[in-house]
Amino acid sequence: MSKITAAITAVGAYVPDYVLTNDILATMVDTNDEWITTRTGIKERRILKDKDKGSSFLGIKAAEDLIAKKNLDPKEIDMVIFATATPDLPVAATSAYAASQIGAVNAFSYDLQAACSSFLYGMSTAASYIESGRYKKILLIGADKMSSIIDYTDRTTCIIFGDGGGAVLFEPNEEGLGLQDEYLRTDGIGREFLKIEAGGSLLPPSEETVAKRQHFVQQDGKTVFKYAVSNMADASTKILERNNMTGQDVNWLIAHQANKRIIDATANRMGLDDSKVLMNIQRYGNTTSATLPLLLHDYEKQLKKGDNIVFASFGGGFTWGSIYLKWAYNS
């Protein structure tokens, strides 16, 4: 019998209509387009303005896009993993609601939270289930309504984040395509440098925590940048070394879209030409769990069967890693 690998066989995505440009942000906080662009590479981001809609809406829309493109019967989906740092509710699983809404009535589902590495870790999880032989169709959704946890009076964070959703379908493959290798890591030191202080079991919500704006993302930008540059680049080069590859063997780098300088540093360490580095940070900013599937969606037509793709991410916790995947189809 051929070894079963886990391949991505379909992609879907969704971003809200409202465009928050750098110029609009400059009317809200002390910043300007040149300052944001030179430091982050971001020109605009999408924002879900409807207060009655959460991350589930973004994920459901992305899943529906995938289902329509693939002409997939949602009843055939065995499992739904919803990667998010901004679940609709603290207890009720966002994945369960999303699965029901798309008609995946035969799937079990759960949420996966690893900050900006949530989707990357979800890829590892979905692939492991497929490789076990017990599941045939796993829908991995990455979606975040980051605007719900961003303080738009804090220029260090509000310039970075946007809202969006993406989804991929994992299925068994016997041609040797799909996920080949992974290098995933964590370090609890990150808890001090990128966090939301209140709302969890350590510091439950109160009038005081709301007044102190402790329910918004706080970041020590310089420290996070330093760790992100070194760790994302290290993980990506380790993946190459472990698989006897160089930058010449890589067709595409799909890196978490947090900061253009971090992406450039990772590509340089890997010895990659700029033409191999997929980027949409200028349009969406950092959509956290949605950045990787949004890149797949935006560049799907350029991906060819057999292409060597390296995924890389870095997020709060700290969480980070890299995955090597062979693309399984021609769009």
**Strand 108-112 to 79-83 pairing:** parallel
Write the CA distances from 324 to 11, 75, 142, 162, 269, integer angstroms: 18, 30, 19, 27, 16
What is the 3-state composition of the chain as percent helix, strand, coil, each rounded to the nearest 5?
40, 25, 35
Active-site choice (173, 231, 259, 286): 286
Backbone dihedral angles phi then psi of residue 303, each to the nearest 5 degrees: -80, 130
297 included as an active-site residue: no
Active-site choice (22, 231, 256, 297): 256
158 included as an active-site residue: no
286 included as an active-site residue: yes
Give yes or no for a contact between 102 and 143, defined as CB atoms under 8 angstroms apart.
no
Count Cβ atoms within 10 A of the Cβ of residue 318 and give its class: 0-12 exposed, 13-18 middle, 19 or more buried. buried
Cβ atoms < 10 Å from Cβ of 253: 24
Give yes or no for a contact between 214 and 269, defined as CB atoms under 8 angstroms apart.
no
Contacts of 43 (CB under 8 A, 6+ apart): 21, 22, 33, 36, 37, 282, 283
What is residue 94's DSSP assignment? H
Active-site choice (116, 158, 259, 297): 116
Catalytic residues: 116, 256, 286
